[in-house]
Structure 1
């Protein structure tokens, strides 16, 4: 493989979703030269651009509110595992970022001259803002891209797959990348590095993520020597679209319909069942509206009891809502649904849980710096703020808040350091150059097999037997993968090499989920053990994952203050 001329920058931001773009903007505002790198198009990949829902923030525009009320709801959703300092930063700085986006003309919906705020499960009052119920993420991403167009000092480089963080004497000093289309190796020297690569939901067969959300950032952090936290907590969105076929629309689009129009979850007997699973602490308004972990549990249990729909989920019905009210609430969306053969006034649709978000991630302190000096992380790539279960609406808020904070702090760190030199001896470069053609399992098929394994054995409801099967199979797949990258006979763009690198990271991250899931012998938040029902006070602990010469090491910590 050819090596390009090394790149140099003050701050390297890896990942160009909402968090990465915000980090790049704030780092540049603080005077840093920035490279914003992404394996796909800048501002077009990741989770933010796909988000169609609402953004939680204590603006108090329509209902009296304070960030401490938002914090209380966030901590309650986190089931005792939130890093309270990180959660407080999220809730306190949220209003400033939402108003900043408003100044940038993102187009938050308004009512009577105020930014409109609506109710969502887990919140004690209407708190969530939106652009419109199906375009919030695209509007946010477009706004951030426009800000980047006007920013000075940000080089945007797409098609760049970061394979390893460069660490020297305990400090991050850059990265090694593969330029996907040309197949060339790109060394990057940086005074500070920000990981903003999002989550890991691509590990699962049914997911709502972009195709590049396979846990790249977690693997980068582990191999660099940083720690991960709360990796067992994967949030499954309870009402991902299942049937009939839906083309060109997001599979998790049904939440706003459900909230705004009072959609009912029905089993095969056409009986509403949410109240069967509700407890006093899950009521967010006058109706039973289950939090996401409990709604996932309810649908799964209805299916297991033989009360599932033909496609294996539950019905979501709006047949009790007058057709004119459906159209008044969602207008053009109704026409898009009709093009898919869906008439909400006369038929229910089928929904089922879908992997949607990851509460865990890279362990950081209050400045969002990891245990490796000069290595920061933000957005869904970090763990701690959400504990065992993320409160509805917090995802985009954290991409803004933590993206801005990580970019600012990385720029300050960069001012304290000279540009690092890149050694001629670079193990990451040597690793890529060791790529070879050989007989090996089909890596694309292996990714599909991994997704099925995680869905069936490390999904929403776990047992010791299932987890041990998964861990053994993951170890076997890792051995089969081999130690050297696999290439095809193509010269530049090589999908076999890309899949091999992806599978390498996905297998490492899958083990980082399965191992602490086996250790946690209780059910808490999004981690549900069918052989260990209910909370165990002894497990009000965070699990920390680190990489050693022997493999992954798991330890526990009480993460009530920042790491």
Structure 2
């Protein structure tokens, strides 16, 4: 067994986790342990983000304008204090990243910015349209190297948090490379584990985005907010086959060059559903997802069940000037945008709900903080384009600051970790856990996707119960086997099933359509539902509480 002792434990080494670790070090924490289930700074969502980062950096802009757009996108459910933090601190962290030589694209002395969907002006900066996330991750990894107090450990999966007297005092997990148990003692713990989009059959995230943080938080006694709000990216790549490129790469093409979104009859259709593109990509993601899905349901979809995205009206020289070597990568895949339209369809992309925190990123459990996509509340019912990396960095900065100054709780006790240790050390019967993961993904996609109804959600709940029974109470095989993927999938399933249950429970309760949550049996938005659903419990039972949306200060 590996046993670590640290002052601040950061679980997850994407943008939020790396920034939190850096800030905790700057605030004087004597020892920070940054844990990642893959490679430090190379897993999670940040490194995969190819597009833009929203921040009011221009002298003619102001973070309050950015806030107004964020609140509008959230459809009345944003926590104004958290949204304010995102937009105001976001300016500071993006400027700091510039000082760290991330390489934001420039026009002379000004950072180059574009107007992304839902924004009232151009405020979304980028490195280049397909490398922004990798550049942010690379820059943060370089900064980590400057902090001797930050230890970095990869290939560790955290399965449970350790609680004593209502206080989080550490965590238990296992080392993937060796299969051995891991115990961590920590004065403060930060969840920076990202989202949950691996729950869906088609998604834009890494294979690690299983919703670990949500399940860890629930079992420790923390509360989750807005779990029904899963954002689907409307124009994920569908066809033709494309290798080595991100399925959500078409967003910057669309809003920079005005790609035309067409149905199977080659008609533009967004205006039929209350949106307008006017030659640019300005329609919000939830509306675009709805419009594409409705066109397909009406029999006006493209051959593979999506919509056409066309750039044939854009001259070849303009395409190359905008995207350079990307055009060559497309050509290697047999795609010539001057001759070929491509097919796109909605794909699970982001989760607006998550762990309930205050503006210090504290949960209701002392010793436990959260940062990044795992946090709920800032984005309400629908995230504004470009806010994801900004949120990760801003909330990571705050969480790292506060965790470094957290008051110590009770001393760590191995007795409190006994049950979690027993599970990671257990031996169970062999089973096809990969097939069970695929079965859960299919159930969520088919019955709890961008459009839901009571019957479908009931089928999803039944499927979750069935898969939970098939999964069993013990992981397959025995500990000590290196890179045991069947065992790893079992622990992922344990988290995924609880998180899927949380989504379905909240989605079943919210009998209206709002933002990313669309009920075909309750198609209208109701003022009576301008409230949040707060969820607590575990796989033995979940409970929901209705709470008011905080008012702006």
CA distance, structure 1, for counterparts of residue 284 and residue 334 of structure 2: 30
Whether the 8 Å CA contact 2:219–2:538 is kept in 1: the answer is: no
TM-score by length of 2: 0.97
What is the correspondence of 1:108-257 to structure 2 with a 5 Å cutoff? Answer: 108-257=104-253
Deviation at 1:490, TM superposition (A): 7.3
CA distance, structure 2, for counterparts of residue 505 and residue 538 of structure 1: 32
Deviation at 1:87, TM superposition (A): 0.4
Q: Does 1:364 align with 2:357?
A: yes
Deviation at 1:112, TM superposition (A): 2.5
CA distance, structure 2, for counterparts of residue 119 and residue 434 of structure 1: 52
Q: Does 1:332 align with 2:330?
A: no
Alignment counterpart, residue 18 of structure 2, candidates 18, 21, 24: 21
Q: Does 1:375 align with 2:368?
A: yes
Q: Does 1:392 align with 2:390?
A: no
CA distance, structure 2, for counterparts of residue 286 and residue 351 of structure 1: 18
Gaps spanning 5+ residues in structure 2: where? none
Could you report, residue by residue, the CA deviation over 1:269-292 in whole angstroms, capped at 9, with x for unpaired residues?
11111222234xx67x77573100
Whether the 8 Å CA contact 1:67–1:92 is kept in 2: the answer is: yes
Deviation at 1:434, TM superposition (A): 5.4
Deviation at 1:78, TM superposition (A): 0.3
CA distance, structure 2, for counterparts of residue 289 and residue 265 of structure 1: 12
What's the counterpart of residue 481 of structure 1?
A: 471
Could you report, residue by residue, the CA deviation over 1:393-445 in whole angstroms, capped at 9, with x for unpaired residues?
000000110011001100010xx3278333246234443255223254x2110
Could you report, residue by residue, the CA deviation over 1:154-178 in whole angstroms, capped at 9, with x for unpaired residues?
0000011001111101111110120
Change (3 A) 1:418 1:384: closer
Deviation at 1:265, TM superposition (A): 0.3
CA distance, structure 1, for counterparts of residue 205 and residue 539 of structure 2: 32
Whether the 8 Å CA contact 1:232–1:516 is kept in 2: the answer is: yes
> What RMSD, in angstroms, separates the aligned Cα atoms of the two structures?
1.6
Could you report, residue by residue, the CA deviation over 1:56-99 in whole angstroms, capped at 9, with x for unpaired residues?
101125xx111111111000000000011000011111111111
CA distance, structure 1, for counterparts of residue 538 and residue 202 of structure 2: 31
Whether the 8 Å CA contact 2:254–2:280 is kept in 1: the answer is: no
CA distance, structure 2, for counterparts of residue 182 and residue 219 of structure 1: 24
Could you report, residue by residue, the CA deviation over 1:98-142 in whole angstroms, capped at 9, with x for unpaired residues?
110000000000013201111011011111000000000000000
CA distance, structure 2, for counterparts of residue 329 and residue 523 of structure 1: 38
SS in structure 2 of the partner of residue 150 of structure 1: coil
TM-score by length of 1: 0.95
Q: Does 1:422 align with 2:419?
A: no
| Structure 1 consecutive aligned stretches of length 4 or more whose deviation exceeds 6 Å | none
CA distance, structure 2, for counterparts of residue 39 and residue 199 of structure 1: 14
Change (3 A) 1:97 1:410: same
Alignment counterpart, residue 423 of structure 2, candidates 420, 426, 432: 432
Gaps spanning 5+ residues in structure 1: where? none
Could you report, residue by residue, the CA deviation over 1:342-374 in whole angstroms, capped at 9, with x for unpaired residues?
000111100000000000010111111101001
SS in structure 2 of the partner of residue 199 of structure 1: coil
Deviation at 1:502, TM superposition (A): 0.4
What's the counterpart of residue 494 of structure 1?
A: 484
